Structure 1
């Protein structure tokens, strides 16, 4: 523990020294430099103090999200500066060795001076994440996008050709702070012409009471001809706080399960149901949370008991790692899995149809959008809400509309 603390202190010191170096190269006014040092120290003290006050019996609060936002806002730009100036120092050290070996330069002339334009470039590039993080906090977290995806299946029952599903995921109601924006998002959901809506978990951060101020708002989600169904996410189990007793933890869990029915959703707990349309039907399988690094309450075999391999099946499973490790090659042939969980880390770059990147891709093989394996698909929703960092940059909150089509091509 002490070793990790020392490593963390060394990293903070490294970043602060290089950030100060960049500023000192460009600005020679003493009071400005001293003010920068004092402000940096006060911010660091505030961040450290805030994290030491984290209460495991309460979990995430507005204060912890504010602290996380401030830490990213301050240190991500400084890391950019530090990396660029470190690169320059590697060049300077190389140049000094070359000067000594080839030109026998005097010791005081060996190391080239830090170049002003490099510091200017570093500060200019650091402004990009700084401004992006500010945008993400004030605008990005509620910049809802409706993403439409068509998926083709050769064995889709004829009556379901053109069947549309709206998917939402990862509401995290305990993070909300703007009723007007949430009502706007509910209006967006209701504007989509779909046959069914599926909610793939995480209605709260931890406590059932987080959703109470938003029940009326989410009750506004319209009824769908073929139903409103949901499953639990990892945050719905109350695993991330210390409870006074197992009894209180279980009571909270029971209240969270009730929340889904209170907003009109049929919560599925390792079970399946049939969606009948005309003479045809498809199976909807709802699995409890199953995560490679999180709670494994999901039981796919139980949920799909008595289903045949040639039944057309849609699975709701919160964590996409479940698809990767168990669903995609399961002998029962699950055609489509709908997941969420990753949030796309709420930070990344997306150019639809061309490029997408996020740190999430180094943790999850399937982290945002549609993925395929041998004709079986998983769609990972980027999430409706936000958690930890109180914003979104590049990876916007998502309402998904999936259209099922009979055929062999993916659009």
Structure 2
């Protein structure tokens, strides 16, 4: 997290932290509310400064004890931010309820001609007072938010799930029956995702007997990790007999397209940028340990990331990219298409492409906000989608640039193709 994004992130999170402290105090009715607000603001500034420092010195400290300590300290800082991010909407609702309850109570007091109503201690066996209940609610909110934040940052983000999908096609070339394709996406090698996480994902796919791997963009954020990234890709490529294919995501453009491309060109990874590669001319030719009678070829196509603004321009550019990628691909070919943005699934369905693999969304990372993200941002958020004989899949992300996941683990995907 650097530059304007980090500045905006800190402004937003600082406002959320301070507002959360004010709302919590309103519910709990502490007398020293100013001290609480100052403490929260100071802690937020310190957390932000620590996170910024880690980002600046990362290239020099990666792989050292200092780097490890700074990483865990930064995870703690992000946990602090997410404590308030999670608590804030709950506190807004709770504060609104408390406000209404207090206004109603005062209105009832006025109707009775009572100016003050001292709290009455509960009788034995009659439960607790409203004030005690609200204090209890106010105490639970930050505890629950803190627990969720810590688990999401330290535990949820570290678990890698291998998801398996069996896809059936009546017209699948016989030499592809039982063929396994792996997918990883959005690895985001950087401050919180080491090259070992990339190795972990590729090892998991190799253990599944995958023949080829597709990487659907956003491989790396921290360019100082390019040498280690290249080492992992060169080493692991040998475990996939039909190789590794790759399409660009938006972060390649943000971080340094030329440097990332230059690195990938030193590895066996095939870059597909509005282009396609003939994986087999038919009858399994060109594939490891594959043979059959069907002459239909097998192609893997990849499209570039579209930065077009506006729905019409975005749709038009997506169609243009897909047309370029499929130019020269025979109508009879079985095609797998790689795209970073999940909206390319629309073009996959439109052109009846058997399988379109995407990423970009990270599955929202926090499952509870998934419906909101779908309604305002992404038609295809995570998992499998189908239209007729075409499938579209959105990987939840093998990594992340912001380490927080709840009920939305990191993912490496295995697709097994079946005839019939």
TM-score (norm 2): 0.75
Structure holding more helix per residue: 2
1:306 positional shift:
2.8
Per-residue CA distance 1:233-285 (angstroms, 9 max, x = gap): 1100127xxxxxxxxxxxx4222113334343111111112222234422211
Other-structure match for 1:392: 405
Q: How far apart are 1:399 and its partner, in Å?
A: 0.6
Answer whether contact 1:95 1:111 (CA < 8 A) is retained. no
Bigger mean CA deviation after superposition, 303-312 or 189-198: 303-312
Aligned with residue 17 of structure 1, among 22, 42, 46: 22
- Correspondence for 1:132 among 148, 153, 157: 148
The answer for the alignment partner of 2:271 in structure 1 is: 267
Instruction: Say which of 352, 369, 381 aligns to 1:367.
Output: 381
Q: Does 1:210 align with 2:225?
A: yes
Partner secondary structure for residue 226 of structure 2: helix
Map residues 176-255 of structure 1 onto 2, 5 A cutoff. 176=192, 183-205=199-221, 208-221=223-236, 222-238=238-254, 252-255=256-259
Is the Cα contact below 8 Å between 1:47 and 1:67 reproduced in 2? yes
Higher relative contact order (CA 8 A, sep 6+): 1
Report whether the alignment pairs 1:72 with 2:93.
no
Give 1:391 deviation, angstroms.
Answer: 3.0
Q: Is contact 1:339-1:379 (8 Å) kept?
A: yes
Contact 1:342 1:360 in 2 (8 A): no
Match of 1:353 in 2: none
Q: Secondary structure at the match of 2:210?
A: coil
User: Does the C-alpha gap of structure 1 residues 210 and 55 become closer, same or farther in structure 2, counting only changes over 3 Å?
Assistant: closer
Alpha-carbon distance, 1:95 to partner? 4.7
Residue 106 (str. 1) matches residue 111 (str. 2): no
**1:314·1:335 contact (CA, 8 Å) conserved in 2?**
yes
SS in 2 for 1:115: helix
Superposition pairs for residues 287-326 of structure 1, below 5 Å? 287-290=303-306, 299-324=321-346, 326=347
Residue 312 of structure 1 contacts residue 335 of structure 1 at CA under 8 Å; is this kept in 2?
yes
Distance 2:335 2:118 in 1: 70
Who is 1:327 aligned against?
348
Report the CA distance between 1:14 and its aligned residue: 4.1
For 1:43 and 1:338, locate their aligned partners in 2 and report how far apart those are by CA, in whole Å: 42
Normalised to the residue count of structure 1, the TM-score between the two structures is 0.76
Q: Distance in 2 between the 1:274 and 1:10 partners? A: 53
Q: Is the contact made by 1:386 and 1:392 (CA closer than 8 Å) also made in structure 2?
A: no
Distance 2:241 2:265 in 1: 17
Q: 5+ unaligned residues in a row in structure 1: which ranges? A: 240-251, 350-355
Q: Secondary structure at the match of 1:262?
A: coil
Q: Which residue pairs with 1:377 in the alignment?
A: 391
Is the alpha carbon distance of 1:359 and 1:173 closer, same or farther for their aligned partners in structure 2, counting shifts above 3 Å?
farther
- Aligned residue pairs: how many? 371
Structure 2 regions of 5+ residues with no counterpart? 1-9, 59-69, 121-128, 285-290
- Counterpart selection for 2:133 from 95, 117, 127: 117
**Cα-Cα RMSD:** 3.9
Offset of residue 220 of structure 1: 3.0
For residues 85 and 151 of structure 1, what CA distance do their matches in structure 2 show? 49
